[in-house]
A = this chain, B = another copy of it.
Amino acid sequence: MNPNFADRLASEVLAKRSQVCVGLDPSLDRMPAALIERYSNASAQGCGCGRHEIAGCFEEFCAAIIDAVAPHAVAIKPQLACFEQYGPPGLKAFKHLCNHASRAGLLVVADAKRGDIGVSAAAYSAAYIGRPQGFVAPIANLGADAITVNPLFGSDGMQPFLDDCSRYGAGIFVLVKTSNPGSAELQDLLVSDEVPAGGAVARAESRAGGAVAPGQTPRKFHEKVASLVDEWGIGLVGDSGYSSVGAVIGATHPEELAGLRKMLPKSLFLIPGYGAQGGGAGNVAAAFDSRGLGALVTASRSIIYAGQGEDFATGAAEAAERMRSELWQQSRES
């Protein structure tokens, strides 16, 4: 039996007094000059496409960040998109970094935002938190402890991920309310559960009157998703009182965050948007319980690019420690 993901996280949070998750979103135009010089020289002497060398540059940079922040953070959240754009060498760097972080004692949340149906959903789950089918036995995956998942497909698209959470002690974080300004466009639509028979014409002709029945509280699309997250997570609640099925909720939406915490008392929150995107420690305090448990707060650019030049890792360590201390204090005061 693998230990429950939420319990593993809780024990790390209490041991390190940290709820910090460092986002690894490497971008070529932000790499330190010394690394760029070394890897671009290598590229000029190689095939010239640069894909392997850029992936190598990202790997060296991120590995140094991992080592630097490991005492202050409990998890890293590598952004798949950054690695995937450099193809197979990029994905290899991602895999190496997952393993590197595990060896450094950090949990790994693959920020993949995957979602699909049937066997495709099962394959994505296998890739990150399950075990892909091999010739003779299941084989090792890319090396994450948890993955971010897009819920648009509904419960049947989610099931393979939930199964792997049970089997392997893994976790998922379901996108509930993302941190971008445009998140309101679809995620804040008012919705009703009532699905009428017939198409749009039949509905226009019916006297339905509204999407919400009289007396029913209108709720937003992301609140409906939150109610599903609660259902999906029931079977995966650990000794810590939290479920391995968590919710992604942007730090840029403090009001929603407090409301969603009431709706989802057992869900781990993964809260991006701290730092560079504008959310501060006060914005996220409502996510924590009195023990300081209940949420992972992520910052990416404000930590990984905090240092300059040769000292980039030292700068990242200082920024991570500052964030740890701010968050721990705020979470204990709330």
Among the 9-residue stretches A151-159, A165-173, A288-296, A320-328, the one with 4 or more Cβ atoms under 8 Å from chain B is A151-159
A307 to B114, CA, bound (A): 31
**Chain A 31-55 residues near chain B, CB threshold 8 A:** 36, 39-40, 43-44, 49-51, 53-54
Copies held by the complex: 2
List the B side residues contacting A211 at CB < 8 Å. 189-192, 210-212, 218
List the B side residues contacting A151 at CB < 8 Å. 152, 186
B187 touches A189 (CB 8 A): no
A85 touches B180 (CB 8 A): no
A188 within 8 A of B: yes
A203 within 8 A of B: yes
List the B side residues contacting A220 at CB < 8 Å. 195, 200
Among the 9-residue stretches A9-17, A63-71, A89-97, A235-243, the one with 4 or more Cβ atoms under 8 Å from chain B is A89-97
Q: Known contacts A115-B113, A187-B154, A211-B191; is A134 also within 8 Å of B49 by CB? A: yes
Residues of A at the B interface (CB closer than 8 Å) are 25, 27-29, 36, 39-40, 43-44, 49-51, 53-54, 79, 81-82, 84-89, 91-92, 95, 111, 113-121, 123-124, 126-127, 132-136, 139-142, 150-157, 175, 178-196, 199-201, 203-204, 208-214, 217-221, 223-225, 228, 255-256, 258-259, 263
Q: Known contacts A178-B117, A192-B189; is A36 also within 8 Å of B91 by CB? A: no
A313 to B216, CA, bound (A): 56
List the B side residues contacting A219 at CB < 8 Å. 200, 203
B84 touches A95 (CB 8 A): no
A27 touches B152 (CB 8 A): no
A187 touches B134 (CB 8 A): no
List the B side residues contacting A189 at CB < 8 Å. 191-193, 195, 211, 221, 224
